[in-house]
Structure 1
Amino acid sequence: MRRSKLLGSVMGATLAVLTVGAAAAEAATSKAPPPLNAGTLSGAFLSARSAERDNDFGSAINFYRQALTFDPKNTELRQSLLLVLLTDGQFKQALPIAEELKAVPEIERFSRLALGIDAMNRKQYQKVNTLMMLSLQSDLDRMITGLISAWAKAGAGKPNEALSMIAKLEGPEGFNLFKTYNSALIADMAGQKDKAAKFYQDAIDDKVSVAAAPDTYERLVEAFASFKFRNGDRDGAVALIQQASEMLSGRMVLTEFGKEIADAKTVKPLIQTPQQGAAEVLYTIATAIDRNGAEAFSKLYLQMSLPLRPDNDATLFQLGDISAKLEQPEKAIDYFGRIPADSPYSRDAKMQLAINLAILKRNDEAIAELNSLLGSNPQDMRTYLAIGSIYSQDKNFRQAAETYDKAVAALANPKREDWSIYYQRGIAYERLKEWDKAEPNFLKALDLYPDQPQVLNYLGYSWIDMNMKLEQGLDLIKKAVAARPQDGYIVDSLGWAYYRLGRYDEAVAQLEQAVKLRAEDATINDHLGDAYWRAGRKLEATFQWAHARDSKPEPEDLAKIEEKLKNGLPHEKDPGVAKNGTETPKPPVEPAPAPAPDKKG
């Protein structure tokens, strides 16, 4: 019973294809399936809501349109249709509905924003300012409308008025970065170098914002580095990027941009038009609110930024990332695949594209993409981790081990961050039952990163499983639990270690806690059932096994669970039967650690 997850957190980059324009931007949206006829207003409405909850926006649009045929004037239905059209990137189709709803207070924040974006694209700057006046405003709405209005003022040739508008914007302290950043961009575009330099520096000095809005800070670094370069300070630009790369660990975009700056003869401003500036407002707000559970909301703002700047690689990358989070790998592949080869996002996009190919079981294509990345940078450990993870997911541990062997050979001086290469190589060799090769890798991982919980857990459990170094192994797992007390898988390992040692009451206590943390996990429920049985609590054991059976275990595990439900566990003293009465599972294998593209997990 081994758990492994695909390397969903590894960074990546895409096929080298040309960036497409606005028409293609909408081509990436959901293609509604052949229309299904709900037949009634309530049926269409409920079907639309269900599709929306499943992030199936194409079907939701279809059902909302059906519902409106029964009740064409229903404001709630039109509001819902507007939102899913915008979230799905069908901006032009949303505009007529936005016009109808622009005076409805409950939806004006989106209807008037959509109309304002359209007006901004048409360079109707006074109209933009009028549309950005809302009757109901949250702090977030005030920031968005205020910044877009400022960009409209800048577009009208009034940069000083734009800067004054931003200065007067009120809101939480966390908005300061957005205000200062946009002020810097407007001053930069207007050629007000002294003002721009001060705004840029003030924003860079706002270190609190690195954690709160890392994507915005990354864009700020790119913009300021470009400003420095264009004003004769190449060394300052390179130094700024190097400093930011240390603060924003794992951001390969900055690394790639740093290389570009170091070798470039000319560098363009990050923002060159008011339209791009307004798009930047929506992009930075979208990434700042992109947290667990808010992906669709973030996607809405990202999609609304694309009509203003359809070739924005940063937006395409974020849309790919969110599509992957929403379990839409085909869409993710499309977005990542539209990022051109000369973009700083290209390498990361290729890797993410490969990972999503692997999710679709297109492993040969995925590995080919990743091998092409190794061809250009054989020292990129993230790529080895991604390839090894795909092989491991297919239980091809020999190929995984060989991949990690190549990674180790490419490491001149292993550092703390390279612990995962040795950890994953240890797992591959352990699965191949080559413990003499596995153990040194776990020990090397701990040498690089002492007390790393995953390694402590796996090594400690392996020792106990092989009936060697029992107390030392138990101590390692206890350390792992102390470091991650809310990790149900690691707590499960401690409980199962007690079980293997015949300490059933202690096993029950730990496994009950593990089930609380991972109630849906079939293996942990199965473990608790075994522990209950050995502790003499056979009725509870039967209940727990039944729960494990209903939690979608692997087919080979399901057969064993059903056998236990029928006959219980064999007697411990039966010849040839281990204390657990079943094949011993290994601790769960977490994805090979690597920095995630959205930095938020």
Structure 2
Amino acid sequence: MRRKSSLLLLSSAALATVLMFGTVANAATAEAKPAVKDTVTFGPGNVKTFSGAFLAARTADVDHDYDTAIALYRKALAFDPANLEIRERLMISLLLNGDFDQGLTEANALKDDTAVERITKIVRGLDALRDKKFDIAKKVLAYEGPNDLDRLTHQLLSAWADVGAGKGKQAMASINNLKGPPWYKVFTDYHLGAMALVTGDIGTARQHLNTAVTNKEAVATAPDTFMRAVMALARLEAAAGNKQKALDAISVGDGMVSNYAPLKALRQSIEKGEKPQQQVSNAAEGAAGVLFSIGGALNRQGAEDMVSLYLQISHALDVKSADTLILLGGIAEKLKQPDRAIKFYASVPADSPMRRISELQLGVTLSDTGKVNEAKQHLKSLIESDPSDIRSYIAYGSVLSDAKDYKTMAETYDKAAEVIGPVPKPGDWTIFFQRGIAYERLKNWEKAEPSFRKSLELNPEQPQVLNYLGYSLVDMNKNLDEGLGMIKRAVDARPDDGYIVDSLGWAYFRMGKFDDAVTELERAVQLRAGDSTINDHLGDSYWRVGRKLEAVYQWNRALISEGEDINREQIKEKIEKGLPPLDPNATTADRSPSEPVAPAPPAPANPDKKS
């Protein structure tokens, strides 16, 4: 974990000055602030001032609306052609939008601008490498600075330029001699193996790829690069006629990263006796792989711009790279740009082993755009094309859950369970969990409970299942001690999950332990601010301990907070009248029979969907 954080901090230091607006913000200070109507409502053709163009461009940039931002930055440059800060941001927006050649034009114009040289050097160097001008590429990519991440990136790119120039041994020697922190090895092992493959040195390739695949740290630091190494090794062994060794390599990958879609397709191909081609076959694809490796390792919440920049440049050099397109699609989803994500998923080549996963993601994302019927038809057709692919049922079930079509959802997971057969694997816990949710929402507990318990049997400490089942048991006044114990185990596993902490607080409330309920629900509100259900629960708990003004405040908060499962009329009645008196003759969860039953905990997101 520490290595992940260190890598991210290194990247932030390298790119912060050019991916943030701080340096650009001063550009408009000399201008009077334009009206909001001028900056936001009007498009590029309606903007009449430099400050209007700049501020509107910045708004579009923050919203990741690159097409609009590009047009407005160009509009601002028409007012002030010499403004370097605006031109820097224009270049970055072009690259983030996938317009590599136009971004290259700006990079050449800014090649002497030290504020963006980290970007311009990579763009210019990769353009030369793409054009097979390997000596020029190596000269442009030379780096002698102190930044560990930059040194690794430039050295790997320079080495691929040497490979392109026919200097494979020199390239590999430069990587072997590269000094740096321990996390370098994740990247150097894979790229040394890939370089050896391109140069035809199979023995050396096998050696480095085996080292990469057996590196346990690699999965935590750079899982996407690790999986590339696994697949490269499997393809190598398959091509050499070593079918079992190829399958063994895939099994290692399966053991480290479960349910990785391309491995299933690769396994099927090798089991048929096929010899799949290597993903990297030349220097340009190898260099693209460098930026994919770094971008994939940096793919964390809040780093979307940096990751997109690396991946878009990588895509320009290797347009058929399916894993790059999948990652770009996932980032677009995180940025709430489903239409953009769909374009990335649809661009995955039809013959790629990742085509299936891109189709599944496309279907789920269609639902996010409101095209629910289209999403359903798309995913149903995928199930029909391969009824044995369990991921298809999960994706379809996710769309049905969002549409609250629990009857069809239950039927879908029943079919998935039939496909799995009488001996499910540990990884199948999701199927039974989602089936349990569907039947619980249909108020068919006789079918829901066995599914939840089967899910726990397959994955005994899965916090989502523990939380959902424990919460349901407590709320129905069944097996209270067992239910509370499950929720406590879920909290131990995810102490910072506001929903799970809320479940513990509500369990205490239902058991009449109101002081304990307040303690946990106050923590849940801090962890998950603005959730209406948690605010409602805390209001109920405050009322029971005599903190009635605070209770009314929390109920009012619930009315204005996010949430679909609350009964607003019921909350308004509580604000007006409070909670009814407790029944002194009842015990545990029966103490307050007239109080509302809490909604079930939120159904988890589709486990296969990238976030």
Structure 2 CA distance for partners of 1:464 and 1:241, relative to 1, 3 Å: closer
2: CA distance, partners of 1:558 / 1:59? 40
Structure showing the higher helix proportion among its residues: 2
Question: Is 1:542 aligned with 2:552?
Answer: yes
Equivalence for 1:285:
294
Deviation at 1:475, TM superposition (A): 3.1
Aligned residue identity for 1:546:
N
Equivalence for 1:502:
512
2: CA distance, partners of 1:470 / 1:231? 60
Equivalence for 1:237:
246
Maintained 8 Å contact 1:462/1:586:
no
Question: Is 1:164 aligned with 2:173?
Answer: yes
Secondary structure, in 3 states, of the residue corresponding to 1:586?
Answer: coil
Secondary structure, in 3 states, of the residue corresponding to 2:317?
Answer: coil
Equivalence for 1:380:
389
Equivalence for 1:19:
none
Question: Is 1:587 aligned with 2:587?
Answer: no
Equivalence for 1:295:
304
Equivalence for 1:399:
408
Deviation at 1:483, TM superposition (A): 3.0
1: CA distance, partners of 2:388 / 2:139? 54
Equivalence for 1:198:
207
Equivalence for 2:80:
71
Equivalence for 1:335:
344
Deviation at 1:298, TM superposition (A): 0.8
Higher relative contact order (CA 8 A, sep 6+): 1
Deviation at 1:571, TM superposition (A): 4.7
Q: What are the residue-to-residue correspondences of 1:361-510 with 2, within 5 Å? A: 361-412=370-421, 413-510=423-520
Q: What are the residue-to-residue correspondences of 1:134-173 with 2, within 5 Å? A: 134=143, 136=145, 138-173=147-182
Equivalence for 1:24:
none
Question: Is 1:176 aligned with 2:185?
Answer: yes
Partner deviation per Cα, 1:456-477 (whole Å, 9 max, x = no partner)? 3223332332233333333333
Deviation at 1:169, TM superposition (A): 2.5
Equivalent of residue 521 in structure 2, options 503, 511, 528: 511
Structure 2 CA distance for partners of 1:410 and 1:515, relative to 1, 3 Å: same
Aligned residue identity for 2:300:
R
Maintained 8 Å contact 2:108/2:124:
yes
Of stretches 178-187 and 282-291 in structure 1, the one that deviates more from structure 2 is 178-187
2: CA distance, partners of 1:357 / 1:254? 25
Equivalence for 2:263:
254
Maintained 8 Å contact 1:109/1:134:
no
Q: What are the residue-to-residue correspondences of 1:39-58 with 2, within 5 Å? A: 39-58=48-67
2: CA distance, partners of 1:550 / 1:521? 9
Aligned residue identity for 1:173:
P
Maintained 8 Å contact 2:364/2:396:
no
Structure 2 CA distance for partners of 1:247 and 1:260, relative to 1, 3 Å: same
Structure 2 CA distance for partners of 1:206 and 1:418, relative to 1, 3 Å: closer
Deviation at 1:264, TM superposition (A): 4.4
Maintained 8 Å contact 1:424/1:592:
no
2: CA distance, partners of 1:58 / 1:382? 34
Question: Is 1:356 aligned with 2:365?
Answer: yes
Aligned residue identity for 1:116:
G
Q: TM-score, normalised by structure 2?
A: 0.86
Equivalent of residue 322 in structure 2, options 300, 305, 313: 313
Deviation at 1:281, TM superposition (A): 1.1
RMSD of aligned C-alpha atoms?
A: 2.5
Partner deviation per Cα, 1:146-187 (whole Å, 9 max, x = no partner)? 111111122122212222222233322211232232222222
Maintained 8 Å contact 1:420/1:593:
no
Aligned residue identity for 1:187:
A
Partner deviation per Cα, 1:5-56 (whole Å, 9 max, x = no partner)? xxxxxxxxxxxxxxxxxxxxxxxxxxxx952644433333333333222222
Partner deviation per Cα, 1:171-211 (whole Å, 9 max, x = no partner)? 22211232232222222222233333333333333232122
Partner deviation per Cα, 1:362-405 (whole Å, 9 max, x = no partner)? 22222222222322432333322222222222222111111122
Deviation at 1:566, TM superposition (A): 4.0
Structure 2 CA distance for partners of 1:377 and 1:74, relative to 1, 3 Å: same
Equivalence for 1:29:
none
Maintained 8 Å contact 1:225/1:237:
yes
Deviation at 1:540, TM superposition (A): 1.0
Aligned residue identity for 2:607:
A
Maintained 8 Å contact 1:528/1:544:
yes
1: CA distance, partners of 2:259 / 2:506? 35
Maintained 8 Å contact 1:388/1:404:
yes
Deviation at 1:329, TM superposition (A): 0.9
2: CA distance, partners of 1:535 / 1:457? 25
Identity of aligned residues (%): 44
Structure 2 CA distance for partners of 1:444 and 1:69, relative to 1, 3 Å: same
Question: Is 1:95 aligned with 2:104?
Answer: yes
Maintained 8 Å contact 1:416/1:449:
yes
Equivalent of residue 355 in structure 2, options 346, 357, 368: 346
Deviation at 1:135, TM superposition (A): 6.9
Equivalence for 2:89:
80
Deviation at 1:88, TM superposition (A): 1.0
2: CA distance, partners of 1:468 / 1:135? 67
Partner deviation per Cα, 1:88-140 (whole Å, 9 max, x = no partner)? 11111112211111112221111121111211121111111121134756222
Aligned residue identity for 2:442:
L
Q: TM-score, normalised by structure 1?
A: 0.88
Count how many residue pairs are aligned between Structure 1 and Structure 2. 565
Equivalence for 2:39:
none
Maintained 8 Å contact 1:461/1:586:
no
Structure 1 segments unaligned to the other structure (5+ residues): 1-32
1: CA distance, partners of 2:576 / 2:82? 60
Aligned residue identity for 1:297:
M
Of stretches 272-281 and 548-557 in structure 1, the one that deviates more from structure 2 is 548-557
Structure 2 CA distance for partners of 1:578 and 1:72, relative to 1, 3 Å: farther
1: CA distance, partners of 2:228 / 2:163? 20
2: CA distance, partners of 1:592 / 1:86? 31
2: CA distance, partners of 1:333 / 1:45? 30
Equivalence for 1:14:
none
Aligned residue identity for 1:325:
K
Aligned residue identity for 1:175:
Y
Aligned residue identity for 2:373:
D
Aligned residue identity for 2:467:
N
Q: Which runs of 4+ in 1 moved over 6 A?
A: none
2: CA distance, partners of 1:370 / 1:51? 33
Maintained 8 Å contact 2:464/2:604:
no
Structure 2 CA distance for partners of 1:176 and 1:475, relative to 1, 3 Å: closer
Aligned residue identity for 2:549:
L
Question: Is 1:526 aligned with 2:526?
Answer: no
Maintained 8 Å contact 1:389/1:591:
no
2: CA distance, partners of 1:66 / 1:385? 46
2: CA distance, partners of 1:160 / 1:544? 68
Aligned residue identity for 2:70:
I
Aligned residue identity for 2:597:
T
Secondary structure, in 3 states, of the residue corresponding to 1:531?
Answer: helix
